Amino acid sequence: MKRKIPLSFYVAAIVLVIILLVRGPKIGTVRGAEMEKMVIHGVTYVQNPFLDFSYADKGRYLGRATAGGITFRVYAVKGDPDHRYLYRLWSWEGAFYERKD
């Protein structure tokens, strides 16, 4: 006799897949005592509080970066197709980073 798998198992599996898809891929790490450096796909970005950007300049979601147990969301900056600048968001706190050449 075959065992039936409960519907709650299927629902839990679907919810887990959705959560993983929404979080996006891990694309890098955030480093430094003040989280002033971010390494994305091997490219280093340095936090720059003097950039003339605001939250309104937050562009497309790129993925997530981690620092220990903390997960940050990383976004492109509108009008910057070369990704010279990135925006990092954690809870309500965000910061802009500039690519280190």
Q: What is the pLDDT of residue 24?
A: 73
43-94 pLDDT, tens digit per residue, is 999 999 999 999 999 999 999 999 988 999 999 999 999 999 999 999 899 9
Q: Is the pLDDT of residue 15 over 80?
A: no
Q: Is the pLDDT of residue 4 over 90?
A: no
Kindly report the pTM of this predicted structure: 0.77
Q: Confidence band (pLDDT; 50, 70, 90) for 101?
A: confident
Single out the residue of 78, 79, 74 nearest to residue 45, CA to CA. 74
